[in-house]
């Protein structure tokens, strides 16, 4: 069995390439050691990639919606298994075990994002722009290219085919994008602010 | 990247074409420059399917297949062709589609059912092109016994056991080598043993063998070829591998190195038993990570193609 830490980036890129080849797009919110390793904030051994949420692609200024990740989408499960074979990793090297926190109270920041996204979606539906504006203001979202967080409990990883939308959890085909989703101390970065992306040679 | 993928697929394609020409040449097809004649026993259905696989890139094989449809189709097993076809990629199905129609048109009604699925690309029966099939050389043993005893599992089982030079084999391994079901092989073996055509050992599981001494006169007619004969090789599985590598090359031409390498692992996984059956030592895929497997796969294809060339 290979050590995940050594192949984390190429393995995630591989998942993105497989999904891109299937013309599928799936975005995940990843927390824990894997996300911190990918952000370059730490450099320590990690056993798996903890998925705490699925994220939808942002639409215009409306950022991603978060949803419980268990079970992972079928296409992603297939890609995870395939990459586990191809890189000699454990079959559950990406897993949603940590998603139990959805029933036990997810990290405050994620809950906040989720709630605001719901507000924004509701505002779009009812046409009450004021609600959407208020939501944006509360959220304190920063523009693309915002300051990189020093340390954060959560990161957002996106796999698969891009939507061509501006920033966010998508990206170009075959791209694995990494977006910091929260920042210690609140006032987190906007999920659509891609501070780092890992691009395959696709 | 597409060049690398093409390069790997091309190695398989060339090996497939060479194997097809050499074996058809021995069976009487007027082939120029077919190289050294084969010495292993020819698996006729595997040869037909291999030819169908590379037909699109080797147009001259149309003449050979057209000739065989008229001159030799009665010596082929329709059932075994259908069974083996399941191991080949879609491209083989497409390449084979017009053969049943040509065979049926030449008077072999057994192919009529399959000919309904004939493709658009017709294959003209060309009976006079190559004359009568050559059945006496040792590598034509399967066809020769079919000509003598009829097309079926018993003739093939006898050919298989004779080509093993007296070595005994279990029903399971005979089934693997011949692509007949274990039940069919067991029933045929029991009846042939009762008729004293073959022998049975007392081991468990039971093994069967054919005493070459009892068939010497028949085999001697094969001439010098029999003395240098290599016996049976499980070509069907290896030919299927070549066809899949060719199909992989076509499908993955525009894929990323990783995606192509992952699909290559699928091809390897599906044919691992073929390598084991023929005792071909190929590189271990677990020693390569991610897209690094492409080089390992290239080495695997090289190894298998080299083995086929040396063991035809």
In chain A, residues with a C-beta closer than 8 Å to the C-beta of B290 are 7, 10-11, 14, 86-87
pLDDT tens for A119-148 read 556 556 555 554 444 334 333 332 222 233
SS3 letters across chain A: CCCHHHHHHHHHHHHHHHHHHCCCEEEEEEECHHHHHHHCCCCCCCCCEEEEEEECCCECCECCCEECCCCCCHHHHHHHHHHHHHHCCCCCCEECHHHHHHHHCCCHHHHHHHHHHHHHHHHHHHCCHHHHHHHHHHHCCCCCCCCCCCCCCEEEEEEECCCCCCCCCCCCCCEEEEEECCCCCCCCCCCCCCCEEEECCC
Query: Which carries the bigger pLDDT value, residue A57 or residue B251?
Result: B251
Q: Which two tokens stand for residue B281?
A: 């030592």
Query: What is the mean pLDDT for each group of 10 consecutive residues in chain B (312 residues)?
Result: 89 96 91 74 96 91 92 94 95 91 90 69 63 90 95 95 91 92 96 94 91 83 60 92 96 94 97 92 93 96 96 90
Is the CB of A87 less than 8 angstroms away from the CB of B289?
Answer: yes
Query: Which carries the bigger pLDDT value, residue A18 or residue B229?
Result: A18
Q: Chain A contact for B256, CB < 8 A?
A: yes
For chains A and B, CB pairs below 8 A equal: 40
pLDDT the model gives residue B220: 74
Measure CB to CB from residue B256 to each of A82, A85, A174 and give the nearest one: A174
Once rounded to an integer, what is the mean pLDDT over residues A34-51? Answer: 85
Evaluate whether B144 touches B136 at the Cβ level (below 8 Å). Answer: yes
Evaluate whether A130 touches A156 at the Cβ level (below 8 Å). Answer: no
Chain A contact probe: residue of B254, B258, B259, B265 with most A CBs at under 10 A: B258
Report which DSSP code applies to B211: -
Tell me: pLDDT of A172 over 50: no
Is the CB of A2 less than 8 angstroms away from the CB of B289?
Answer: yes
pLDDT the model gives residue A5: 82
Q: Which two tokens stand for residue B108?
A: 């072999």
Domain ranges of chain A: 4-199
- The hierarchical CATH code for the domain B138-222 is 1.10.10.10
Q: Chain A contact for B110, CB < 8 A?
A: no
Q: What are phi and psi of B207, to 5 degrees?
A: -125, 155
Farthest CA pair distance, chain B: 59
Measure CB to CB from residue A14 to each of B255, B258, B286 and give the nearest one: B258
Tell me: pLDDT of A155 over 60: no
Query: Which carries the bigger pLDDT value, residue B186 or residue A170?
Result: B186
ipTM of this complex prediction, to 2 decimal places: 0.80
pLDDT the model gives residue A131: 44
Q: Chain A contact for B2, CB < 8 A?
A: no
Q: What are phi and psi of B281, to 5 degrees?
A: -90, 110
A residues 53-82 closer than 8 Å to B (CB): 82
pLDDT the model gives residue A165: 32
Evaluate whether B309 touches B18 at the Cβ level (below 8 Å). Answer: yes
Domain ranges of chain B: 12-130, 138-222, 235-311
| Predicted confidence band of residue A195 (pLDDT cuts 50, 70, 90) | very low
Q: What percent of chain A has pLDDT over 90?
A: 19
In chain B, residues with a C-beta closer than 8 Å to the C-beta of A14 are 258, 262, 290
Q: Which two tokens stand for residue A19?
A: 């999904």
pLDDT the model gives residue A166: 29
Is the CB of A11 less than 8 angstroms away from the CB of B259?
Answer: no
A residues 4-43 closer than 8 Å to B (CB): 7, 10-11, 13-14, 17-18, 21
Measure CB to CB from residue B256 to each of A17, A83, A86 and give the nearest one: A17
pLDDT the model gives residue B265: 97
| Predicted confidence band of residue A61 (pLDDT cuts 50, 70, 90) | low
Q: Chain B contact for A85, CB < 8 A?
A: yes
Query: Which carries the bigger pLDDT value, residue A201 or residue B73?
Result: B73
pLDDT the model gives residue A137: 33
Q: Chain B contact for A92, CB < 8 A?
A: no
Is the CB of B289 less than 8 angstroms away from the CB of A82?
Answer: no
């Amino acid at each position: 069995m290979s050590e995940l830490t050594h192949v984390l980036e190429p393995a995630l890129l591989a998942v993105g390439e497989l999904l891109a080849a299937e013309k599928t797009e799936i975005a995940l919110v990843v927390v824990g050691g894997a996300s911190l390793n990918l952000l370059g904030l730490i450099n320590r051994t990690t056993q798996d990639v903890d998925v705490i949420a699925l994220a939808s692609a942002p639409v215009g200024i409306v950022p991603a919606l978060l949803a419980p990740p268990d079970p992972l989408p079928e296409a992603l499960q297939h890609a995870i298994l395939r990459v586990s074979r191809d890189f000699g990793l454990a079959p559950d090297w990406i897993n949603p075990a940590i998603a139990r926190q959805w029933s036990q109270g997810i990290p405050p920041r994620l809950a906040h994002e989720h709630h605001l996204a719901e507000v924004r979606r509701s505002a779009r539906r009812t046409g009450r722009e004021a609600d959407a504006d208020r939501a944006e203001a509360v959220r304190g979202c920063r523009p693309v290219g915002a300051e990189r967080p020093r340390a954060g409990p959560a990161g957002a990883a996106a796999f698969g085919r891009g939507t061509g939308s501006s920033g966010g959890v998508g990206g170009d085909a075959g791209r694995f994008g990494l977006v910091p989703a929260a920042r210690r101390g609140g006032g987190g970065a906007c999920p659509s602010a891609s501070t780092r992306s890992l691009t395959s040679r696709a | 990247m597409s060049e690398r993928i093409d390069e790997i697929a091309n190695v398989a394609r060339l090996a497939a074409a060479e194997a097809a020409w050499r074996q058809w040449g021995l069976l009487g097809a007027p082939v120029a420059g077919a190289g050294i004649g084969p010495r292993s026993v020819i698996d006729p259905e595997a040869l037909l399917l291999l030819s169908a696989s590379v037909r699109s890139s080797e147009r001259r094989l149309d003449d050979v297949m057209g000739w065989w449809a008229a001159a030799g189709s009665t010596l082929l097993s329709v059932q075994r062709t259908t069974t083996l076809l399941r191991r080949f990629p879609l491209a083989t199905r497409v390449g084979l589609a017009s053969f049943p129609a040509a065979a049926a048109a030449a008077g072999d009604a057994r192919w009529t059912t399959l000919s309904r699925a004939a493709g658009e690309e017709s294959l003209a029966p060309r009976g006079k092109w190559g004359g009568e099939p050559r059945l006496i050389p040792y590598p034509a043993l399967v066809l020769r016994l079919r000509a003598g005893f009829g097309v079926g599992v018993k003739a093939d089982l006898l050919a298989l056991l004779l080509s093993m030079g007296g070595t005994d084999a279990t029903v399971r391994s005979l089934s693997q080598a011949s692509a007949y079901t274990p039940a069919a092989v067991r029933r045929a073996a029991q009846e042939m043993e009762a008729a004293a055509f073959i022998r049975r050992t007392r081991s468990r599981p039971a093994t069967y063998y054919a005493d070459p001494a009892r068939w010497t006169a028949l085999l001697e007619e094969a001439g010098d070829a029999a003395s240098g004969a290599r016996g049976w090789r499980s070509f069907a599985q290896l030919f299927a591998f070549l066809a899949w590598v060719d199909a992989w090359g076509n499908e993955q031409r525009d894929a990323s190195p990783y995606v192509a390498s992952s699909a290559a692992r699928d091809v390897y996984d599906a044919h691992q038993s073929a390598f084991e059956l023929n005792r071909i030592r190929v590189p271990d895929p677990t020693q390569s990570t991610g897209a690094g497997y492409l080089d390992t796969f290239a080495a695997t294809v090289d190894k298998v193609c080299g083995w086929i060339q040396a063991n035809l």
